[in-house]
Amino acid sequence: MTSPARPRLVVLGLDGLPLSLARALAPRLPNLARLLPLARPITAELPELSPVNWTSFFTAEGPGVHGVHGFTVLDAQTYALRIANFRDVRVPTIFERLGNAGLVSRVLNLPNMAPAAPLRGMLVAGFVAENLERAVFPPFLLGPLGSAGYVVEGDTTRGAGEPEYLLDQLRRSLSGRRAALNLLWPDLAWDLFVCVLTETDRLFHFLFPAVEDEGHALHGACLAFLREWDQLVGEVLDRFDALPEPKRLVAFADHGFCRLETEVDLNRALFEAGLLKYERPARDEWDAGVIGAQARAFAMDPGRIVLHRQVRFARGRVREDEAAGLKADIRHVLQGLTWQGRKVMKQVLDGRELYGVDVGGGNAPDLVCVPEPGFDLKARFDRAGIFGHFGRHGMHVPDDVFFADTRDDGRAQRLRDTGRIVLDSFCLGGVKPGGLIL
């Protein structure tokens, strides 16, 4: 008597890939083209950032439940900003739920999973792990990954001015992903395999016009890199094709992308409207300690507006009975922003309505701004003007998000639904896609 075959699910993350761009590039990227017959668009969670959306995948919940609302977290007492990480996630992951059911996960380069926590399987966390040591579980993976030259992230700090250096760094990180894939996949002692390729996001931030425009001087260099990326996509697809049935492949991005026309600094906009007061000059762009007691509101990346409430912040003076009127005033200011005669904001959403939680005493924003394409929202503390260009040429958008599924039933509409696909595939769901926005 033979035992039933082990069902396997493979998740391929294609960070930042818009479906429209995938279709345009497919004639020259044959492995990406293999996914297109299955592909359709879904929508990112808001704000449309990587940590928000990858956390929505690996928790199968929206930001109102998992608690990650952006790249940064502000200490309400000291006003110090820090980078969000896995410790900020408030609910169990899909890997924990699978592990409790006796199932094994292998996870490669998944953002916001550091510092790495034990799981039933293996983990190589992605951005924003401080180093490889904090990204890996179990620790014995450090040896072979280090020997292979694996890096969590290539150096993109020179991306704005040195495109050749950027492409070399992306090739370096891509080579490490291949080495890790060769290490984690072959024994097939897993039920779920997750592989995320983040190099496209980094490429698009600095060189999106070059990728998009065949006449751009750097288009050929970008396409050469994307062919290397496509080869690795093909290696994952070939490995999936070789798996025995039953099996399922789900490939998706965490947000879309478009060309950046100008950055829009919301803290400067609030300052010029008299709603944000500083108590001293900022030491740098992240110096939130400048927020003064007279400040009524401030912004956090990328379009999170936070009221300076008494119940929430050490220097806050906004009373709860003032909140509704203040939000209306801020919405009026932001909806009135224009650049070269064009309206900046598509929507300014209420945080409570968006997330379904009380934002007064929590870490959710009071308002969430969704810009028109081309306007990249920022929240710095040292900018002298609302508008400007600072070296990036591509920006996130919440729509046109790539999604493909070999067993697509049409229910997945947002990033949280991708995590629910995993749970449902192993009969651990209990919550169906398309539910209440959280």
- Domain check: are 254 and 281 in the same one? no
- Residue 31 lies in domain: 8-259+396-425
In a domain? residue 437: no
Q: Which of 273, 361, 304 is nearest to 81 (CA)?
A: 304
pLDDT along the chain (438 residues), means of 10: 78 98 98 98 98 98 96 97 96 98 98 98 95 96 97 90 96 98 98 98 98 97 98 98 98 98 98 98 98 98 96 96 98 98 98 81 88 98 97 97 98 98 91 34
Query: 190's torsion region: left (phi>0), alpha (psi -120 to 50) or beta?
Result: beta
- Domain check: are 298 and 412 in the same one? no
In a domain? residue 296: yes
In this prediction, residue 29 carries a pLDDT of 98
In a domain? residue 435: no
Q: How far is CA 2 from CA 5, 6, 243, 398, 426, in A?
A: 9, 12, 18, 47, 21
Q: Which of 156, 150, 155 is nearest to 204 (CA)?
A: 156
Q: How far is CA 318 from CA 278, 293, 308, 309, 347, in A?
A: 16, 10, 6, 4, 24
- Domain check: are 37 and 122 in the same one? yes
The DSSP bridge partners found for residue 122 are 106
In this prediction, residue 356 carries a pLDDT of 87
In a domain? residue 193: yes
CATH of the domain at 164: 3.40.720.10
- Domain check: are 316 and 292 in the same one? yes
Main-chain phi, psi angles of 163, to 5 degrees: -60, -35
* Predicted model pTM: 0.95
- Domain check: are 158 and 285 in the same one? no
- Domain check: are 252 and 269 in the same one? no
- Domain check: are 167 and 20 in the same one? yes
Distance CA 404, CA 422 (A): 14
Q: Which of 85, 82, 108, 107 is nearest to 96 (CA)?
A: 107
- Domain check: are 408 and 362 in the same one? no
- Domain check: are 192 and 330 in the same one? no
How many domains in the chain?
2
Q: Which residue has the tokens 């065949």?
A: 214
Q: Which of 431, 428, 430, 434 is nearest to 9 (CA)?
A: 428
- Domain check: are 418 and 301 in the same one? no
In a domain? residue 282: yes
In a domain? residue 56: yes
In a domain? residue 3: no
In a domain? residue 436: no
- Domain check: are 271 and 169 in the same one? no
- Domain check: are 123 and 270 in the same one? no
Q: Which of 156, 347, 184, 378 is nearest to 267 (CA)?
A: 378
- 338 Cβ contact list (under 8 Å, min separation 6): 344
